[in-house]
């Protein structure tokens, strides 16, 4: 009888341990994947900052002069592509249009949004890079925007999870959200926010929302 009770208690203990394992492994796995995305984003942003620094040190080069003279979005996009291509190994062929992205609150990004990109390219390690010219003439405004999907077409294709971005000014590069307060960053980088500003929030040590 005692042996039977011992086996029953042992089995119940094993089941309890297994249940806890099932509860925490998905969370741990998700956290690990998210951490890898953030690390890749840090690398992309570092390359972007380096690219801008190199360009700034060679302001007399023909390509920068051409960029300042460019009048149409297509002209500017081609020049942006030319500038960034070596650093991300971008493919000249645009990425197919059947690719939808979402905000962190699970809403699909509308075509009217500033954070909707139509000009997409494959980069190294199958990341997707988006370019967007916003035609600002003032030095205090960004010239163009960039987005990076860390794992390409593979889901979740969501801002703040596997998608991050930055705005490029005439004299600097900023991750989305750099102009916001900590409270605003925390609110946006949550299940009820857009996730766009996680791009900067993670850079300052913010914790991701599982």
Task: Tell me the pLDDT tens digit for each residue of 181-206.
Answer: 999 999 999 999 999 999 999 999 99
Band (pLDDT 50/70/90 cuts) for residue 141 is confident
Q: Supply the pLDDT for residue 149.
A: 96
Q: Which strands make up the sheet holding 163-168, listed edge to edge?
A: 119-122, 128-133, 144-149, 163-168, 173-175
In a domain, 61, yes or no: yes
- Of the chain, the percentage scoring pLDDT greater than 90 comes to 38
In a domain, 208, yes or no: no
Q: Supply the pLDDT for residue 191.
A: 93
CB within 8 Å of 95: residues ≥ 6 apart: 120, 121, 122, 128
In a domain, 27, yes or no: no
Q: Is the predicted pLDDT of residue 12 greater than 60, yes or no?
A: no
What is the SS3 assignment for 84? Answer: helix
Q: Supply the pLDDT for residue 142.
A: 81
> Between β-strands 173-175 and 163-168, what pairing exists: parallel, antiparallel or unpaired?
antiparallel
In a domain, 112, yes or no: yes
Domain holding 186, by residue range, is 34-201
In a domain, 3, yes or no: no
Rounded to the nearest integer, the mean pLDDT of the chain is 78
Domain count, the chain: 1
Q: Supply the pLDDT for residue 10.
A: 47
In a domain, 154, yes or no: yes
User: How many beta carbons lie within 10 A of that of residue 98, not counting itself?
Assistant: 6
In a domain, 94, yes or no: yes
**Which whole number is the average pLDDT over 155-179?**
92
Strand partners, 175: 166
- DSSP 8-state assignment for residue 110: P
- Between 152 and 91, the more confident residue is 152
In a domain, 4, yes or no: no
Q: Is the predicted pLDDT of residue 18 greater than 60, yes or no?
A: no
User: How many beta carbons lie within 10 A of that of residue 144, not counting itself?
Assistant: 20
What is the SS3 assignment for 124? Answer: helix
Residue 102 · residue 157 · CB < 8 Å: yes
**CA–CA distance, 193 with 178 (Å, rounded to integer):** 16
**CA–CA distance, 129 with 117 (Å, rounded to integer):** 9
What is the SS3 assignment for 165? Answer: strand
């Amino acid at each position: 009888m005692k042996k039977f009770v011992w086996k029953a208690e042992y089995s119940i203990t094993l089941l309890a341990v297994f249940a806890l394992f099932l509860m925490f492994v998905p969370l741990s796995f998700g956290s690990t994947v998210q951490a890898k995305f953030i690390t890749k984003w840090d690398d992309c942003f570092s390359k972007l900052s380096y690219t801008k620094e190199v360009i700034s040190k060679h302001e007399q080069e023909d390509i920068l002069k051409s960029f300042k003279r460019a009048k149409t979005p297509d002209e500017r996009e081609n020049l942006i592509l030319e500038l960034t291509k070596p650093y991300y190994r971008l493919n000249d062929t645009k990425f197919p249009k059947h690719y939808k992205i979402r905000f962190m609150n699970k809403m699909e990004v509308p075509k009217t949004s500033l954070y909707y990109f139509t000009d997409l390219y494959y980069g190294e390690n199958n990341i997707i890079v988006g370019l967007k010219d916003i035609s600002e003439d003032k030095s205090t405004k960004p010239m163009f925007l960039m987005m990076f999907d860390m794992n390409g077409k593979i889901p979740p294709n969501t801002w703040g999870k596997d998608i991050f971005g930055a705005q490029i000014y005439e004299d600097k590069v900023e991750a989305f959200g750099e102009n916001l307060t900590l409270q605003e960053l925390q609110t946006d980088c949550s299940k009820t926010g857009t996730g766009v500003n996680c791009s900067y929030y993670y850079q300052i040590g913010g914790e991701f929302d599982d």
